[in-house]
Chains A and B, each alone.
Chain A
Amino acid sequence: MRVLVTGASGFLGRAVAAGISAAGHEVRTFQRRPSGLPGVEDVHGSITTLADTPYAGLAYAVSGMDAVVHLAAKVSLTGDPAEFEAVNVGGTGAVLQASKDAGVSRFVYVSSPSVAHSGNSIMGSDALPASPEHARGDYARTKARAELLALAADAPGFSVVAVRPHLVWGPGDTQLVDRIVERARSGRLPLLGHGAALIDTTYVANAASAIHAALDAAKRVHGRSYVITNGEPRPVAELLAGICGAANVAAPAWRVPASAARAAGSLIEAVWRRRPRVDEPPMTRFLAEQLSTAHWFDQRRTRADLDWTPAVSLDEGFERLAAYYRTAP
Chain B
Amino acid sequence: MRLLGPKRSVTEIRATPASRLPRARSAVATLPPSGLAGLNPEWSRLVDVAESGTPGVTHGWHLLDNGPQLDALGVVPLGTILCVHGNPTWSYLWRSLLAAATDAAAAGAPAWRVIAVDQLDMGFSARTGSFRPLARRVQDLGDLTDALDLTGSVITLGHDWGGVVSLGWAVDHPELLAGVVLLNTAVHQPSAEPIPAPLRLALSRGVLGAATVATPAFLATTLALAHPPLSAAVKHGYRAPYRASARRGGIGGFVADIPVELAHASRPELDRIAAGVRALAVPALLLWGPRDPIFSDRYLDDLIERMPHARVHRFEGAGHLVAEDADYAAAALIWLGETTFERAPGDETSASAADVEAAAVQTAVAETAGVSAGTVSAGADSAGADSAGTAAAWAATGTHPLWHYLDELRDLDETALVDMQPAPRTVSWRLLSRRVRQIAAGLAYIGVRPGDRVSLLVPPSADLTAVLYACVRIGAIVVVADAGLGLTGLTRAVRGARPDFVIGAAPGLMAARALGWPGRVISTARYPAPMSRLLGVEHTLAELIRLGQARLEAGDAPAREPAPSDPAAVLFTSGSTGPAKGVVYTHGQLSAVSRALFLQYGVGVGTGLVAGFAPFALLGPALGARSVTPDMDVTAPKTLTASAVAAAVAAIDATVVFLSPAALVNVVATSEALTPADHAALAGVQRFLSAGAPISESLLAQAAALMPGATAHTPYGMTEGLLMADITLEGIRAAASGPDDSAHSAGGVCVGASTATTQIRISALDASGASVGELSEQPDVTGEIVVSAPHVKDHYDRLWLTERASRRGAVPGERWHRTGDVGHLDSAGRLWVEGRMPHVIVTPAGVITPVGPEQRIEMLTEVARAAFVGVGPLGTQQQVAVIEIVPPARRLHRAPEPLAAAVRAAVGSSVAAVLVVPGLPTDIRHNSKIDRTRLSRWATGILSGGRWVKP
Residues of A within 8 A of B (CB): 121, 123-125, 193-198, 231-235, 237-238, 241, 258, 292-294, 296, 298-300, 303, 313-315
B945 and A124 contact, CB distance less than 8 A: no
Report whether A124 and B876 are in contact in the complex, using a CB–CB cutoff of 8 Å. Answer: yes
* B944 shortest CB reach to chain A, Å: 4
If the complex has contacts A233-B878, A293-B944, A293-B945, are A198 and B913 also in contact, measured as CB distance less than 8 A?
A: yes
Q: Is the CB of B894 within 8 A of A235?
A: yes
Minimum Cβ distance to chain A for residue B310 (Å): 43
Return the contact of B875 from the options A198, A294, A296, A300 (Cβ within 8 A): A300
A124 in contact with B943 (CB, 8 Å): no
Within 8 A of A (CB), among B905-951: 909-910, 912-913, 915, 940, 942-946, 948
Q: How far is the CA of A234 from the CA of B909 in the complex (A)?
A: 11
Instruction: Write out, one digit per residue, whether chain B residues 863-878 have a CB within 8 A of any chain A CB (1) or not (0).
Output: 0000000011101111
Is A124 a contact of B872 with CB atoms below 8 Å? yes
Residues of B bordering A, CB below 8 Å: 844, 871-873, 875-878, 894, 897, 900, 909-910, 912-913, 915, 940, 942-946, 948
B884 CB to nearest chain A CB (Å): 18
Contact status B940-A196, CB under 8 Å: no
Could you show 30 A-B contacts with beta carbons less than 8 Å apart? Answer: A123-B872, A123-B940, A123-B944, A124-B873, A124-B876, A124-B877, A125-B873, A193-B948, A194-B894, A196-B894, A196-B913, A196-B942, A196-B945, A196-B948, A197-B944, A198-B871, A198-B913, A231-B844, A232-B912, A233-B878, A233-B912, A234-B912, A235-B943, A238-B897, A293-B944, A294-B943, A294-B944, A294-B945, A313-B909, A315-B909
Given contacts A124-B878, A198-B913, A238-B900, contact A299 B844 (CB under 8 A): yes
Across-interface contacts of B872 in A (CB, < 8 A) = 123-124, 296
Q: Name the B residues within 8 Å of A241 (CB-CB).
A: 897
Q: For residue A194, which residues in chain B have a CB less than 8 angstroms away from its CB?
A: 894, 942, 948
A183 to B873, CA, bound (A): 35
Residues of A within 8 A of B912 (CB): 198, 232-235
CA distance A145 to B910 in the complex (A): 35
Q: Bound state CA distance, A197 and B875, in angstroms? A: 20
Pairwise interchain contact A237-B945, C-beta atoms closer than 8 A: no
Task: Point out the residues of chain B lying under 8 angstroms from A293, CB to CB.
Answer: 944-945
- Chain A residues with CB below 8 A from B945, complex form: 121, 193, 196-197, 258, 292-294
Shortest distance between the CB of B843 and any CB in chain A (Å): 10
Which A residues are CB-close (under 8 A) to B910? 232
Q: How far is the CB of B874 from chain A (nearest CB, A)?
A: 9
CA distance A292 to B900 in the complex (A): 21
Please name all residues of chain B whose beta carbon is closer than 8 Å to the beta carbon of A314 when the two chains form the complex. Answer: 909
Complex alpha-carbon distance, A233 and B775, angstroms? 37
Residues of B within 8 A of A292 (CB): 945
Evaluate contact between B873 and A298: CB separation under 8 angstroms.
yes
Give chain B nearest CB distance to A222 CB in angstroms.
24
Chain B residues with CB under 8 A of A313: 909
A137 and B897 alpha carbons, distance in the complex (Å): 35
- Given A124-B873, A198-B913, A258-B945, A300:B844 Cβ within 8 A: yes
CB of A300 within 8 A of CB of B876, answer yes
Contacts of B940 in A (CB 8 A): 123
B878: contacting residue among A193, A196, A296, A303, CB under 8 A: A296
**From A194, A258, A313, residue with most partner B Cβ within 10 Å:** A194
Q: How distant is B870 from chain A, measured CB to nearest CB, in Å?
A: 10
Q: With a CB–CB cut-off of 8 A, which chain A residues contact B875?
A: 298, 300
- Kindly list chain A residues whose C-beta atoms are within 8 Å of the C-beta of B844: 231, 298-300, 303
Of A121, A198, A234, A294, most buried by chain B (CB within 10 Å of CB) is A198
Of all chain B residues, the one with the shortest Cβ separation from A120 is: B944
What's the Cα separation between A123 and B946 when bound, in Å?
12
Complex Cα–Cα for A125 and B873 (A): 8
Residues of A within 8 A of B948 (CB): 193-194, 196
Q: A238-B900, A292-B945, A313-B909 are in contact. Are A195 and B876 (CB under 8 A)?
A: no
B109 to chain A, nearest CB (A): 30
| Residues of the B chain whose Cβ atoms lie less than 8 Å from the Cβ of A234 | 912-913
How near does chain A come to B900, taking the closest CB pair, in angstroms? 7
| A198 → B minimal CB distance (Å) | 5
A238 to B880, CA, bound (A): 14
- Bound form: Cα–Cα A235–B356 in Å: 67
Chain A residues in 8 Å Cβ range of B894: 194-196, 235, 237-238
Shortest CB–CB separation between residue B908 and chain A, in angstroms?
12
Per the bound structure, the CA–CA distance linking A52 and B910 in Å amounts to: 53
The answer for the CA separation of A238 and B914 in the assembled complex, in Å, is 11
A59–B927 CA distance with the chains assembled, in angstroms = 73
Residues from chain A with a CB closer than 8 A to the CB of B873 are 123-125, 298
With A195-B894, A315-B909 already in contact, 13 other A-B pairs whose C-beta atoms are closer than 8 Å: A124-B876, A197-B944, A198-B913, A198-B944, A231-B844, A234-B912, A234-B913, A235-B912, A237-B894, A258-B945, A292-B945, A298-B875, A313-B909
